[in-house]
Amino acid sequence: MKTWHLERNAPETGTRLCRVDEVSEDEVVEFKFGDNIKTLFRMFLYNDQGQLRAYMNVCPHFNVPLNVSPGEMFTSDRAQFMCSIHYAKFNLNDGHCTDGPCEGLGLEVIPLDIINNEVFVGNVA
C-alpha cells in the first residue's frame, strides 16, 4: 500500500523538485521537507540511465534514512542501494529489497511528473 503521501511533511502533488539535468546519470539527489529534524520527510531521485526514479528515503526495516552522509546510499560496486544501518540491499530500478533484514519488502516509490524538463511530485495512484 502506498502511504508516503500520508507522512508528516510529505510534499504535495505538483511540488517542483528540480530540473531533469540536475540529476546526473547513476547519481542521487536528496530532498528534505519540513523544518524539524525529527519530522523531516526524506526522499531522493535516482537517474537510472536517463530515467528518473523517486523513492522515500526510509529503510522499511527500521524506518531510518538509508544514508548517514549525503548521497552515500549505494553498495560499494554501486549496483544497489544499501541501508547504512543494517546493510539491507535494494534494487535500483524498483526499490525491492533483495538482501538483509527487510528482504521481500521495498522502498516506497514516489510518482513523478516531468513537464518541460522540470521534475514534480506526481499524483498518488
Give residue-wise pLDDT tens across range 28-42.
999 999 999 889 999
Nearby residues of 51 by Cβ (< 8 Å), 6 or more positions away: none
Phi, psi of 120, deg, nearest 5: -125, 155
CB-count exposure of residue 69 (10 Å: 0-12, 13-18, 19+): exposed
What's the pLDDT tens digit per position in 4-22?
999 999 999 999 999 999 9
Sheet of 41-48, strands arranged across: 28-33, 41-48, 51-56
The pTM of this model reads 0.94
Q: Are the C-beta atoms of 84 and 66 separated by less than 8 Å?
A: yes
* pLDDT band with cut points at 50, 70 and 90 for residue 125: low
Cell numbers 528482504 label which residue?
103
pLDDT greater than 60 at residue 99: yes
